[in-house]
């Protein structure tokens, strides 16, 4: 399984935890950022994750934010 994952600044910590957990399970994870807790424009990350799934480069996409409202 290949998973594309990304987050905004509010979801960064959870994203890092998931990447570590999935890696221990042998899942290939491609991280599309963000790489910090600095405020950022989340649609860019969501677009890259969706593109990876849409083109078949990833089997599943996960996008994480602080509230669940912006990236649904």
pLDDT for 70: 64
- Quickly state the pLDDT bin for 51 (edges 50, 70, 90): very high
Strand, coil or helix: 3: strand
Which pair of tokens denotes residue 1?
């399984």
Per-residue pLDDT, averaged over 35-61, amounts to 91
pLDDT of residue 33: 85
Q: Is the pLDDT confidence value at 34 over 70?
A: yes
Q: In this structure, are residues 18 and 5 in contact, taking their beta carbons and an 8 Å threshold?
A: yes
- Domains of the chain (ranges; CATH) run 2-64 (3.40.1400.10)
31-56 mean pLDDT: 90
pLDDT band at residue 23 using 50, 70 and 90 as cut-offs:
very high
Cα torsion 56, 67, 40, 28: sign: negative
């Amino acid at each position: 399984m290949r998973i594309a994952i990304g987050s905004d600044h509010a979801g960064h910590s959870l994203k890092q935890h998931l990447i570590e957990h999935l890696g221990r399970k042998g899942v290939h994870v491609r991280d599309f950022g963000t790489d910090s807790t600095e405020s950022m424009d989340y649609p860019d990350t969501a677009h890259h994750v969706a593109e990876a799934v849409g083109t078949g480069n990833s089997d599943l996409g996960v996008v994480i934010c602080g509230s669940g409202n912006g990236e649904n």
